[in-house]
Structure 1
């Protein structure tokens, strides 16, 4: 074993603490050590690590809690476009109030991004957009969806599934022309993610702006956080909503006549951008003018006009904690144009010796399998069990291939989980850290940038898997060491963290002891990727490593 004396062990721990500048909660290596003159603090670097690429293909994307939308040039990993279909909740009471001569004034859809307020300049609030990748534009088209979506599967029983490669089904069933036909190209052919708030102004019954008598400025009705705002064709909805208002009062008929909206993203001349939408706060809003009839004191009937609004939710049921029971359905759809380098890497994985580079890609992508200890018939694990050691910390470090990612965004986080059992690691589940700008900061997986001025190592991800290693050491089964997997993830959102689950794969992955039938929703909803060095790379100082910090009683 690569044992060091107590002084070197302490020095290493202190150096490691300095490297964890992103969050102090990940820096207490050796923090559980209580010692005296009868123990040594030592470190051990695991030798038998095999890490290799594994594609997973299409996955069920029904009711993801985070919806990616956009088109993005992801360098070595190729191009990705992410579209989606969403049902609209019926609103029978709203249709029952519509008069015979109602006329739609405007229709818009609003879906907020995940954002944090930063500052206000010139009366405009600016926000930090979370989980938006790239700063270019893309082409966005919205259609009425014509494919019927159902939560149940009558032919096979159980809950229905819709897969990420089902674009052709929805393309062949879209209805009519493009709905987001505004002359503003930023709402269609040149869509961009903006970080400023959206201001809704007040208008009188004739559609004229209402001005403040003191300042002369247009009065505000409401301010919304940054989000997707698209004006939709009002003539189309005049025919659909007003023309069929009686039939639409029945929720079942509504779901049949109006099967939702289909958002289609594709590339334009830009490198593109792709980001997450908070679909559970999305709305379709219809503003219309209606007639109001009244009778005066002399018995004369008069007719006036009044402004009304119908609001339709794009989702419901999240508070129940059971998204499969959601009355609305959303389906995410991916289309990839993968580079040859990426395709070669994932199709020629070396499962015996490991790959020198690991291609981690979300969406309809790939993961990296990390096989600890099984090489040489678990001899290394057996030796660790036989030694009388107390593990204080276990840290897995993986390095980014800077050349491959030089012109691309390094994702903020990666996710490490138990691949064989298809579950989270106990270290992840136990991390309830709330004192950081990063959730799960103790578990880690946060991208750490290099800081040459402070002489800090960087361009890497670190994971604390202490409890996982402790359970392996304590296990009586000398040949049980479940494989781990590295996958993509967006930065965790506290509101939805408890709703994240595994998504069913269209085709299970061959694996021992059991085939893999699911992939984390974390990976499916993350549309980007990264390139890492494996455990057998020849790149100096970039090899994947697992370091164990432990105490051992002196003989």
Structure 2
């Protein structure tokens, strides 16, 4: 808790500057009546709400290779059900055609994969302490971590680098198949044309732990002996010794063989590893692994004859976790049935769930609305057209007036636009009031599969140590008051872009994100340009939790319904 409070303490000057960006009803009232007096102003300020529709989009067949990090383990979401995440990864040697020397003996084989951790201070001995809680899911009520069953197999399925059914040099994409329609025990993926069962392609088990628990303890490494012994400490990682006999047969004994001569030969020969997670008594925990780290590898420590007679030389052979890395999922959503929603009327509840789950689509200008022109004539017109007529300057012939740069001239200036999003007060948290405390909602441009323009104008900086505190003006932070949880997503520049440049990006996507600094997209299999949703933010796939929001259907209470509020200034 102390860390959270400390992170929110900003300089007073910065808070004053930031507050100048934030508009609300009270702010306008104070400016007009208390400072200048409305009779002395040559402009007025006001607020309008616009008709929007928010509905669910079920997500299936999402790209699961090329992710920035990878989930491993078991997570039971109180509101949704269980997700199990496993990993299939290729390995890449740091050198090819190795010379292991004479009389080679393996001393040890060590696998190390860093967790995502941050420093929390130092202990009584001055050693750095860490936490992995930001990327760990599934603690018990007393704070202890739930175990899961982990087995690492040799993978015998060849993960190709390029798609033979696509254009020249187009990389192969692998897609999720997590619905359990075949069975709920095996891990599946699709390459776009066929379904792969990795359990039917597993080789020897090289590691087994029936009660695996991710740890935030630092890694201690010692070199030397006696008074010469030096111990160093490094950030938490999944670090373990592997069976030397397996790696001797797989690598050392292949010296001089063509399978170790280049990347293609090696990946066809040694097709990688399959990290399979399984529940323990129906439960477990889930953790993010940083396989992209330069410290993620398998290191074979060995000795060989030295050029000096009677002495031995120590050496290493390193295999990195690079190449294709897939994150497979098995979902058992026992509490919620995910399906596409009502595009016209909107949905009552919006389901945001990662790991091949669901997202929300928000149509900012939905359907037909009544519009009254300057002559007092009211007609029913599209909501987007009514928005433009309300804010743009009209010519006598009905066209919109433009400036010399071909931008539309406005008669009303948008000071702030807020998408107000309320969280379901009945959301099941299994009694943990902090379960969704650090959730982030990421809003993105559905047409271009990228961040909204407001993201680029956000005055808050990216926080790489604690991503929760990044881009929190545009995307907002979850606020709770009097039992009401809500988010304010600022869309000021997005709406201005529609008005000034005639942008057609009127639909945005909402997903749950564990790191709003990550902006790359993951494709949806067989999607086309005619589809409403063709990609999702990749980080939403590796977000195992889910939340439930109120939508825009008429059944939603007025004080909980998602709304778009626009604060504007208009010359008198």
TM-score range, shorter chain: 0.7 to 0.9
1:54 aligned partner: 57
User: Partners of 2:212 and 2:43 in 1: how far apart?
Assistant: 62
2:375 aligned partner: none
Question: Helix, strand or coil for the counterpart of 1:152?
Answer: coil
Offset, 1:230: 3.1
Question: Helix, strand or coil for the counterpart of 1:190?
Answer: strand
2:247 aligned partner: 237
Q: Is the 8 Å Cα contact of residues 306 and 313 (structure 2) preserved in structure 1?
A: no
Question: Cα 1:539–1:128, aligned 2, differ >3 Å: closer, same or farther?
Answer: farther
User: Partners of 2:277 and 2:478 in 1: how far apart?
Assistant: 28
Question: Cα 1:81–1:445, aligned 2, differ >3 Å: closer, same or farther?
Answer: farther
1:364 aligned partner: 356
Question: Cα 1:22–1:395, aligned 2, differ >3 Å: closer, same or farther?
Answer: farther
Offset, 1:383: 4.9
1:543 aligned partner: 561
User: Partners of 1:100 and 1:144 in 2: how far apart?
Assistant: 28
* 1:79-116 CA-partner distances (Å, limit 9, x unpaired): 111111121112335x6331342222222221212222
Q: Is 1:41 paired with 2:64?
A: no
User: Partners of 1:423 and 1:96 in 2: how far apart?
Assistant: 44
- The root-mean-square deviation of aligned C-alpha atoms, in Å, is 3.0
1:199 aligned partner: 220
User: Partners of 1:22 and 1:548 in 2: how far apart?
Assistant: 29
* 1:409-435 CA-partner distances (Å, limit 9, x unpaired): 225211111224433211123336327
Q: Is the 8 Å Cα contact of residues 56 and 366 (structure 1) preserved in structure 2?
A: yes
User: Any residues of structure 2 matched to 1:33-432 within 5 Å, and which?
Assistant: 37-46=41-50, 48-92=51-95, 96-123=98-125, 124-129=127-132, 130-135=134-139, 136-157=146-167, 158-165=170-177, 166-167=188-189, 168-176=196-204, 178-181=205-208, 188-203=209-224, 210-212=225-227, 219-247=229-257, 248-251=259-262, 252-269=264-281, 271-281=283-293, 282-294=295-307, 302-315=309-322, 328-343=323-338, 346-347=339-340, 349-376=341-368, 377-378=382-383, 380-385=386-391, 388-407=411-430, 409-410=435-436, 412-431=439-458
Question: Helix, strand or coil for the counterpart of 1:253?
Answer: helix
User: Partners of 2:249 and 2:157 in 1: how far apart?
Assistant: 20
1:552 aligned partner: 570
Of 504, 527, 537, which residue of structure 1 is paired with 2:523?
Answer: 504
Offset, 1:337: 0.7
Q: Is the 8 Å Cα contact of residues 420 and 514 (structure 1) preserved in structure 2?
A: no
Offset, 1:262: 1.4
2:399 aligned partner: none
User: Partners of 1:225 and 1:39 in 2: how far apart?
Assistant: 58
1:469 aligned partner: 495
Q: Is the 8 Å Cα contact of residues 345 and 552 (structure 2) preserved in structure 1?
A: no
Q: Is the 8 Å Cα contact of residues 445 and 508 (structure 2) preserved in structure 1?
A: yes
> Aligned residue pairs: how many?
480
Question: Cα 1:435–1:519, aligned 2, differ >3 Å: closer, same or farther?
Answer: closer
Offset, 1:179: 1.3
* 1:178-204 CA-partner distances (Å, limit 9, x unpaired): 2123xxxxxx2222222221111225x
User: Partners of 1:235 and 1:226 in 2: how far apart?
Assistant: 27
TM-score by length of 2: 0.76
Question: Cα 1:433–1:189, aligned 2, differ >3 Å: closer, same or farther?
Answer: same
User: Partners of 1:164 and 1:220 in 2: how far apart?
Assistant: 46
* 1:487-545 CA-partner distances (Å, limit 9, x unpaired): 1211245xxx4xx4222212438x9x654322221322322211111123534632212
* 1:276-329 CA-partner distances (Å, limit 9, x unpaired): 22221143333434232445xxxxxx33334322222213xxxxxxxxxxxx22
Offset, 1:451: 5.2
Offset, 1:334: 1.4
Offset, 1:476: 5.3
Offset, 1:441: 2.1
Q: Is the 8 Å Cα contact of residues 401 and 531 (structure 1) preserved in structure 2?
A: yes
Question: Structure 1: 5+ residue runs without aligned partners?
Answer: 1-19, 182-187, 204-209, 214-218, 296-301, 316-327
Question: Helix, strand or coil for the counterpart of 1:272?
Answer: coil
Q: Is the 8 Å Cα contact of residues 290 and 296 (structure 2) preserved in structure 1?
A: no
Question: Helix, strand or coil for the counterpart of 2:206?
Answer: coil
User: Any residues of structure 2 matched to 1:483-522 within 5 Å, and which?
Assistant: 483-493=507-517, 497=518, 500-508=519-527, 514-522=531-539
* 1:444-481 CA-partner distances (Å, limit 9, x unpaired): 24333x256xxxx752222111101112233558xx56
User: Partners of 1:305 and 1:386 in 2: how far apart?
Assistant: 82
Offset, 1:145: 1.5
Offset, 1:386: 5.1
Q: Is the 8 Å Cα contact of residues 108 and 302 (structure 2) preserved in structure 1?
A: no
Offset, 1:51: 0.8
Offset, 1:53: 0.7
Q: Is the 8 Å Cα contact of residues 363 and 527 (structure 1) preserved in structure 2?
A: yes
User: Partners of 1:443 and 1:489 in 2: how far apart?
Assistant: 14
Question: Cα 1:446–1:138, aligned 2, differ >3 Å: closer, same or farther?
Answer: farther
